[in-house]
Amino acid sequence: MNIALIAVSSNEAFFYGMSFSAMFYYMHIMATESGRNKTSILAVSFALMNLGWYVPGMLSGFIQGVVGYTGLFVVSSIVGLAAIFLIPWLPMPKSEQQVDKV
């Protein structure tokens, strides 16, 4: 048994559950404290959450079918690293830039 694999898988499952719970809590607050159309807000929030789950899954399945498992890992790693390297060049509001200089 590979302990590192179990640890990484457990970590991923834990944080997926935490993010799902946070999203659900946000939707609950929006639906209960927004006044009119509470049910509509909850329904739209669930639809957006499902799109955020199914569309990336379909896209990754298509990419995996084209390039294989190893290729999918390489593609996702390159895209993730590119996003991390672009963070310093993101535009920031003036108030946040001033806090960093202090």
Q: Closest by alpha carbon to 64, among 75, 50, 54, 53? A: 75
Average pLDDT over residues 14-41: 74
In this predicted structure, the answer to whether residue 22 has a pLDDT above a threshold of 60 is yes
Q: pLDDT band at 95, cuts 50/70/90?
A: low
Q: Is 57 helix (H, G, I), strand (E, B) or coil?
A: helix
Q: Residue 46 has what pLDDT? A: 75
> Is the pTM here over 0.85, yes or no?
no
Token digits of residue 21: 């719970």
Q: Residue 81 has what pLDDT? A: 92
* pLDDT tens sequence across 53-70: 777 778 878 888 888 888
